[in-house]
Structure 1
Amino acid sequence: MQATAYTYDPETRSGQVLLDDGTPVPFDAPAFDKGGLRLLRPGQRVRIEGEAGSEGGKDDRRITLVTLQTF
């Protein structure tokens, strides 16, 4: 799935992406580290992988990978 980087904190290696419908979804350091990135700037197009949380709801999503979108 594709998204746009929205926020990123280099100290915690966590932040948020915006889905194409404008929904912000947070990611944590393990998801960032798994993607092999060193830095992320707001506005960059990214590819994300995730899973639904235990409740399975739209607001219970968890990102498991963040990496740059390449063509």
Structure 2
Amino acid sequence: MQGTVASFDATTRTGHVLTDDGVRLDYPAAALAEHVRHLRVGQRVFVEVEPDTRDVTRVGIWR
């Protein structure tokens, strides 16, 4: 799915995205894809989640 970065803490590398459906998903630093060094608020990203728990497993700029 896709979403928009709503917050990003450069120190902890955590934050949250808003999906296109308006759902807030918090992501841990471990979920950032290898190619992601920094995110900016308003940036579009691809988000992968666990189907059962909706925990974010990956946030990336491309697939």
Could you say which TM-score interval applies, normalised by the shorter chain?
A: 0.7 to 0.9
Per-residue CA deviation, residues 25-70 of structure 1 (Å, 9 max, x unaligned), is 00001001x3420100010000011104xxx3xxx41111101147
Q: TM-score, normalized by length of structure 2?
A: 0.87
Q: CA RMSD in A?
A: 1.6
Give the distance between the partners of 1:69 and 1:15, measured in 2 at CA.
18
Q: TM-score, normalized by length of structure 1?
A: 0.78
Aligned equivalent of 1:66 = 59
Largest Rg, 1 or 2: 1
| Identical aligned residues as a percent | 41
The structure with more helix, counted as a fraction of residues: 1
Q: Which amino acid in the other structure matches residue 5 of structure 2?
A: A
Give the distance between the partners of 2:42 and 2:23, measured in 1 at CA.
14
Gaps of 5+ in 1: none
